[in-house]
Amino acid sequence: MGVHSIRMPDIGEGIAEAEIAEWLVSPGQMVREDEPLAAVMTDKATVEIPSPVAGKVLWLAGEPGDILAVGAELIRLEVEGDGNLAPGAAEETEPEPQPQARPPAAPPPPRPAPAAALRPEGERPVAPPSVRRRAREAGVDLRQVRGSGPFGRITQDDLSAFIASGGVAAAPGPRPDTSVEEIRVIGLRRKISENMARAATIPHITIVEEVDASAVEDLRARMNADSRGEKLTPLAFIARALVRALREQPMLNAHHLPDDGLVRRFGAVHLGIATQTPGGLMVPVLRHAEALTLRETAAEIARLAQAARDGGARREELTGSTVTITSLGPLGAIATTPILNAPEVAIVGVNRMAVRPHWNGSAFEPRRMMNLSCSFDHRVIDGWDAAVFVQRLRQLLETPALIFMEG
Amino acid sequence: MREMSCRLLVIGAGPGGYVCAIRAGQLGVDTIVVDPEPPGGTCLNVGCIPSKALIHAADEFHRIARLAAAPAMGIAATGATIDLAATTAWKDGIVSKLTGGVAGLLRKAGARLVAGEARLRDGKTAVVSTPEGPVMIHAELLVIATGSEPVELPSLPFGGRVISSNDALALTGLPESLAVVGGGYIGLELGTAFAKLGSRVTVIEAAPRILPQYDAELTRPVMQRLAALGVRVLTGARAGGMSATGALRVALADGAEDIVAEKVLVTVGRRPRGAGAGIAELRLEMDGPFLKIDDRCRTSMRGVHAIGDVTGEPMLAHRAMAQGAMVAEIAAGKPRAWDHRAIPAVCFTDPEIVSAGLSPEEAQRQGVEVVTGLFPFSASGRAMTSGREDGFVRVTARKDSGEVLGIHAVGAGVSELAAGFALALEMGAGLEDVAGTIHAHPTRGEALHEAGLRAMGRALHI
């Protein structure tokens, strides 16, 4: 028997450290070759680390949320034959003074689904008095808790798991809730937090403009009516308009790097699409939007959004954007103040589309109106340039033929 | 009029009221508890404690008297005598020690005890007639814990030769003969004690059998013991009034009989004190003669709780205590509700009866299929060595899961097993849990282990 040590691999160019997002094994567990051991997270991508050998998990390097340097020891396995760790070397390189005393990283708590239905009326749940009291104080109706004991007896652990899974409060009606829960800001949420903190140091200028989307919506409906393939969304048109407008104002398709004292302007339009995923906000990147047709744009946006939501987006699909669109769709409000996706210098926020009365000079007519809320890095973009850009976007969307005109 | 105010006012310092006040005091709730009698209520003054003292004295006397009549275990004794006045004084000493102890506990917890008869003026005010004059007490929350009292029969009003359980515990001379009207647990406990002390005892019970709230299997050993002690038990019998000659008229199923008795002890039940002390004027919703309460002991009036005998059956001190502690915690703002699975009940007859949870019949009435396991003390080594092999422990469990639903026992000294029975039920034990617990040998408690094993068809010692 030997000990095989697995180190944090180099998972991407220029990545010096990665965060343990989740342990997929626990100490004592047998793993096969190629079985995933852990999910680790870099800038925004989560990568599973497969096991190079078969063996039994001896030791894990930390808790989810811990950050390990590339090359740091990640996990130790007990393997047949000699391992790659010399006997005795284990003690020397042991990062923890007493690995045996260390509690094993807890596997994610089992989450028993709430019982499909309450126990029959009159049938009392079986639980010892200590569990009953704790349930009452936590506002949990024990009839909804599945007991793991014989004849469904509810243990303290069952109640803890139920509460952890967001158990259902018992009595209807308001009751004081004195609970305080500490949620570690780890993984994607920590990345978002860091990015937002960085963006907050940027002086933003935000311009909100009203756009009459009736023409582009008519066009979209016509194109979808004789549709082949992917349905066109308003976002695809906005993306095309944005690419067109950037062609005229390339300074807005850039990264501002104040530490280096430069603005890096890009020929390529790598369009970040802010996307809500179960884990939080992600920004998959539509690469080379300048080289795509309308239908290709629509198809690629749909694919990327799905990949981001499924967690299947590759690392290169989540990095390298040069400008970003953020849209909350029907939730899009009247106006928003988009936060820049640093180090970019422009972000286009798309607000909700609604039919509103419009004065055409002689009468009110119903028009499909939509606001655009756009923010810019005011250190390098003046208000004038920002306003010109937003007006151009509006013009393109109100007269969509202009988007597709040559030249 | 002197005035006082507090957050929590408890009317009645019985087991419910004093526990409520102690717990509330511990939790920092400003509490006053009012009672005209020394604290402890029926339980300490005229119930549980004095009756157990009398029963114990009767047992000791009876044991010696029996050895005098028929030596056993190699022991012979001569001429036991009893001075009932001295016995009563011994009992009174215990009672005053305990009531003094409760007063001390109340003080220690920071609750104030006001001696006097309370009369409620409304749901937040009471006027107490104290020896120093009336005191008006204002409270934010009220707890009615006025308890219960012996029921009087119209044909046999208390007084003279007709006595209540309270009077029976204060006798200074042993009655040569005693007629006990009512074969419930109070009448049988006292009747048995007086029979052991030498009285000629007749029990008159209207129901077809004594202790009608228990199943026949449980009461059979008690019946047999009563017969052995020479107690005459008339069932299906109704006591009328006293005849011209001073005998007790009893109507039997097949005729009538006049029973000559020096004292007639009427123990036909207890009545809640749910109307006096101005309670009736609050117009609280009633449940028969009892104050209606919910699972938090709340009455129909906001801020008015009720606990103990005044709220219904079972009229047991430990039920009142649990309610009192719960209401105190509710008054302190904690989320509490009544969610107990079992209120064990002990009948200190000879042999004693313990019931906790459901009997097989009760479970079946609820539509639950059950298995039972019964272990007789006749197979217990400890029972043999203590010279009492009558009785048994019986476990009732769900047939499908083995969840224990009830544990019952009858036998000498089984009252001390009640703790384990109730713990098993509250913890939600199954038969396997009972079987998987090591029970100390040699004890009567092993009968629980064996009964659990037997319910699973795995008994070892039978």
Spell out the domains of chain A, with CATH numbers in brackets: 2-101 (2.40.50.100), 110-184 (4.10.320.10), 188-404 (3.30.559.10)
The pairing of beta strand B148-150 with beta strand B112-115 = unpaired
Task: Please report which confidence band the pLDDT of residue A21 belongs to, taking 50, 70 and 90 as the band edges.
Answer: confident
Q: How far is A113 from chain B (nearest CA, A)?
A: 23
**Residue B72 domain flag:** no
Task: Please report which confidence band the pLDDT of residue A97 belongs to, taking 50, 70 and 90 as the band edges.
Answer: very low
pLDDT score for A112:
45
Nearest CB to A128 within list B402, B428, B432: B428
Domain that residue B43 falls in: 2-47+87-149+271-331
Nearest CB to A150 within list B334, B340, B430: B430
pLDDT score for A93:
44
Q: Say yes or no for a CB contact (<8 Å) between B339 and A175.
A: no
pLDDT score for A44:
59
Say yes or no: B41 and B116 in one domain: yes
Say yes or no: B186 and B207 in one domain: yes
Query: CATH no. for residue B420?
Result: 3.30.390.30
Task: Please report which confidence band the pLDDT of residue A74 belongs to, taking 50, 70 and 90 as the band edges.
Answer: confident
Between A167 and A41, the more confident residue is A41
- The answer, for A96 touching chain B at a CB cutoff of 8 Å, is no
Task: Please report which confidence band the pLDDT of residue A28 belongs to, taking 50, 70 and 90 as the band edges.
Answer: confident
Domain count, chain B: 3
Mean per-residue pLDDT of chain B: 95
Structure confidence by residue, pLDDT tens digits, B98-139: 999 999 999 999 999 999 999 999 999 999 999 999 999 999
Structure tokens, B136: 């008006």
Structure confidence by residue, pLDDT tens digits, A125-140: 889 998 998 898 888 8
Which residues contact residue A236 at a Cβ distance below 8 angstroms, ignoring those fewer than 6 apart?
A294, A295, A297, A298, A301
- The answer, for A128 touching chain B at a CB cutoff of 8 Å, is yes
Residue of B nearest to A125 (CA): B428
DSSP string, A97-131: S-GGGSPPPPPPPP-PPPPSSPPPTTPPPP--HHH
With beta carbons under 8 A apart, name residues in chain A contacting B433.
150
- Asked if the model's pLDDT at residue A61 lies above 90, the reply is no
- Asked if the model's pLDDT at residue B372 lies above 50, the reply is yes
The pairing of beta strand A73-79 with beta strand A67-69 = unpaired
Query: CATH no. for residue B218?
Result: 3.50.50.60
Question: Is residue B156 within a helix (H) or strand (E), and if so which, with residue range?
Answer: none
For chain B, which residues lie within 8 Å of any Cβ of chain A, measuring from their own Cβ? 334-337, 339-341, 398, 401-403, 426-428, 430, 432-433
- Asked if the model's pLDDT at residue A101 lies above 70, the reply is no
pLDDT score for A102:
42
Asked which of B268, B294, B317 is the last residue of a domain, the reply is B268
Active-site hit among A204, A212, A378, A385: A378
- Asked if the model's pLDDT at residue A86 lies above 90, the reply is no
Say yes or no: B24 and B132 in one domain: yes
Q: In angstroms, rounded to a whole number, what is the distance separating the alpha carbons of residues B70 and B62?
A: 12
- Asked if the model's pLDDT at residue A32 lies above 60, the reply is yes
Nearest CB to B432 within list A124, A128, A150: A150
Which residues contact residue B391 at a Cβ distance below 8 angstroms, ignoring those fewer than 6 apart?
B221, B351, B376, B377, B383, B409, B410, B411, B412, B414
- The answer, for A189 touching chain B at a CB cutoff of 8 Å, is no
Say yes or no: B359 and B318 in one domain: no
Q: In angstroms, rounded to a whole number, what is the distance separating the alpha carbons of residues A344 and A324?
A: 8
With beta carbons under 8 A apart, name residues in chain A contacting B401.
150-151
Q: Which residues pair with B163 in a beta bridge?
A: B265
pLDDT score for B420:
96
- Asked if the model's pLDDT at residue B302 lies above 90, the reply is yes
Task: Please report which confidence band the pLDDT of residue A70 belongs to, taking 50, 70 and 90 as the band edges.
Answer: confident
Between B305 and A231, the more confident residue is B305
A275, A318 in Cβ contact below 8 A?
no
Q: Say yes or no for a CB contact (<8 Å) between A128 and B426.
A: yes
pLDDT score for A192:
86
- Asked if the model's pLDDT at residue A95 lies above 50, the reply is no
pLDDT score for A120:
56
Say yes or no: B242 and B278 in one domain: no
- Asked if the model's pLDDT at residue A92 lies above 70, the reply is no
**Residue B65 domain flag:** no
Say yes or no: B207 and B279 in one domain: no
**Residue B229 domain flag:** yes
Task: Please report which confidence band the pLDDT of residue B344 belongs to, taking 50, 70 and 90 as the band edges.
Answer: very high
Say yes or no: B281 and B175 in one domain: no
With beta carbons under 8 A apart, name residues in chain B contacting A151.
398, 401-403, 428, 430
pLDDT score for A63:
83
Q: Say yes or no for a CB contact (<8 Å) between A127 and B337.
A: no
Q: Is A382 one of the catalytic residues? A: yes
For residues B17-25, average pLDDT: 98
pLDDT score for A407:
56
**Residue B417 domain flag:** yes
pLDDT score for A113:
44
- Asked if the model's pLDDT at residue A167 lies above 80, the reply is no
pLDDT score for B340:
94
With beta carbons under 8 A apart, name residues in chain A contacting B337.
136
**Residue B64 domain flag:** no
Between A16 and B317, the more confident residue is B317
pLDDT score for A35:
84
Say yes or no: B179 and B242 in one domain: yes
The percent of residues above 90 in pLDDT, for chain A, comes to: 37
- Asked if the model's pLDDT at residue A310 lies above 60, the reply is yes
Say yes or no: B291 and B311 in one domain: yes
Say yes or no: B190 and B256 in one domain: yes
Between A121 and A201, the more confident residue is A201
Asked which of B301, B331, B361 is the last residue of a domain, the reply is B331
Q: In angstroms, rounded to a whole number, what is the distance separating the alpha carbons of residues B441 and B280?
A: 54
Residue of B nearest to A171 (CA): B335
- The answer, for A139 touching chain B at a CB cutoff of 8 Å, is yes
* Least confident piece of the model among A31-35, A176-180, A304-308, B141-145: A176-180
Active-site hit among B62, B305, B318, B441: B441
Nearest CB to A153 within list B335, B340, B428: B428
Nearest to B297 by CA among B356, B342, B357, B339: B339
The percent of residues above 90 in pLDDT, for chain B, comes to: 95
Asked which of B235, B268, B301 is the last residue of a domain, the reply is B268
Q: Say yes or no for a CB contact (<8 Å) between A150 and B334.
A: no
Q: Is B34 left (phi over 0), alpha (psi -120 to 50) or beta?
A: beta
pLDDT score for A118:
44
Q: Say yes or no for a CB contact (<8 Å) between B339 and A132.
A: yes
The percent of residues above 70 in pLDDT, for chain B, comes to: 100
* Least confident piece of the model among A146-155, A282-291, A309-318, B151-160: A309-318
Task: Please report which confidence band the pLDDT of residue A329 belongs to, taking 50, 70 and 90 as the band edges.
Answer: confident
Between A172 and A380, the more confident residue is A380
Say yes or no: B363 and B420 in one domain: yes
Q: Which residues pair with B391 in a beta bridge?
A: B411
Residue of B nearest to A139 (CA): B335
Chosen for mutation from B338, B369, B400, B427 (greatest number of chain A CBs closer than 10 Å) is: B427
Q: How far is CA B33 from CA B1, B27, B158, B188, in A?
A: 19, 15, 30, 33
- Asked if the model's pLDDT at residue A211 lies above 90, the reply is yes
* Least confident piece of the model among A94-98, A128-132, B92-96, B297-301: A94-98
Task: Please report which confidence band the pLDDT of residue B152 belongs to, taking 50, 70 and 90 as the band edges.
Answer: very high
Alpha-carbon dihedral A401, A402, A403, A404, rounded to 10 degrees:
60
- Asked if the model's pLDDT at residue A99 lies above 70, the reply is no
Between A268 and A82, the more confident residue is A268
- Asked if the model's pLDDT at residue A98 lies above 60, the reply is no
Burial of B140 (0-12, 13-18, 19+ CB in 10 A): middle
- Asked if the model's pLDDT at residue A29 lies above 50, the reply is yes
**Residue B364 domain flag:** yes
Mean per-residue pLDDT of chain A: 83
Task: Please report which confidence band the pLDDT of residue A330 belongs to, taking 50, 70 and 90 as the band edges.
Answer: confident
Q: Is B441 one of the catalytic residues? A: yes
Say yes or no: B225 and B349 in one domain: no
For residues B395-414, average pLDDT: 96
Task: Please report which confidence band the pLDDT of residue A119 belongs to, taking 50, 70 and 90 as the band edges.
Answer: low
Nearest to A284 by CA among A294, A296, A276, A292: A276
**Residue B182 domain flag:** yes
**Residue B156 domain flag:** no
ipTM over 0.90: no
Nearest CB to B401 within list A128, A139, A150: A150
Residue of A nearest to B426 (CA): A128
Q: How far is A174 from chain B (nearest CA, A)?
A: 13
Question: Is residue A226 within a helix (H) or strand (E), and if so which, with residue range?
Answer: none
